[in-house]
Amino acid sequence: MKFNSVFDIIGPVMIGPSSSHTAGAARIGLVTRELFGRQPKWAKIYLYGSFAETYKGHGTDIAIIGGLLGFDTFDERIKTSFDLAKEASLSFEFIPESGHTEHPNTARLVIGDESGEMELIGISIGGGKIEISELNGFPLRLSGNHSAILVVHDDKPGSIAKVASCLAEQNINIGHMEVSRKEQGQMALMVIEVDEPIDEHVLQQIALLPYITQVTKISD
């Protein structure tokens, strides 16, 4: 097994007690908030497998809410995230499920406000690392450990090439890229993890390209 750094061995800086059930859960909540682009007003959190069995004792619940409030894994405010959620007018409900999932530490978050809703499936894979496996019905693989751009676009020839060219012009290297679609010729989703920080002007340039309907950034 190869490790990129000592932190892959000893785990992340975090509010305990579990890197999988606490730090990973907080990261899922935080990435969900970043993808939504703002503070949600309500959240329904469906928990599966080990998450469903131990979420109260291992702090999975307070960690996910802390993430939705914008707190990172090491933020002491996670401990009081339920009270802080009330102050922020964020209502929430945890729903343990018994259904089978691909990974035992799985959460499905449905969040929203008066302007819209979003649904996401997140998996805590250990050591505080996560994967986002589905977003609004689109299958994907997003680690949340690298800067990333999510591009919703029409499934038209040249759309992917134009986005890749735009990033190359800005000297931004693509580390990983996936494209998924629900139906040929309809809406599609590009997930692009990159090696460099992403400035807002890059997002603006991508948004102006033909067939692009939405561009979202996730910071590492």
**pLDDT digit of tens for each residue in the chain (220 aa)?**
343 443 343 344 445 545 566 889 999 999 999 999 899 999 999 999 989 998 888 889 999 999 999 999 889 999 999 999 999 999 999 999 987 777 789 999 999 999 999 999 999 988 778 999 999 989 888 876 788 999 999 999 999 999 999 999 999 999 999 999 888 888 999 999 999 888 999 999 999 999 999 999 887 6
User: Mapping DSSP to helix (H, G, I), strand (E, B) and coil, where does residue 127 land?
Assistant: coil
pLDDT score of 220: 66
Contact of 142 with 193, CB cutoff 8 Å:
yes
CATH number given to 148-218: 3.30.70.260
Nearest to 43 by CA among 58, 54, 32: 32
pLDDT score of 15: 53
Tell whether the torsion through CA atoms of 64, 66, 68 and 70 is positive or negative.
negative
In degrees and rounded to multiples of 5, residue 14 shows phi and psi of: -160, 165
Whole-number Å distance between alpha carbons of 104 and 150? 26
Q: Which two tokens stand for residue 105?
A: 């530490």
pLDDT score of 181: 87
Domain 7-142 is classified in which CATH homologous superfamily? D-3-phosphoglycerate dehydrogenase; domain 3 (3.30.1330.90)
Contact of 180 with 142, CB cutoff 8 Å:
no
Task: Compute CA 15 distance to the chain's CA centroid, rounded to the nearest angstrom.
Answer: 19
**CATH 3.30.1330.90, the chain: domain bounds:** 7-142
In degrees and rounded to multiples of 5, residue 169 shows phi and psi of: -60, -30
pLDDT score of 20: 60
User: Mapping DSSP to helix (H, G, I), strand (E, B) and coil, where does residue 187 land?
Assistant: strand
**CATH 3.30.70.260, the chain: domain bounds:** 148-218
Q: Which residues contact 38 (CB under 8 A, 6 or more apart)?
A: 113
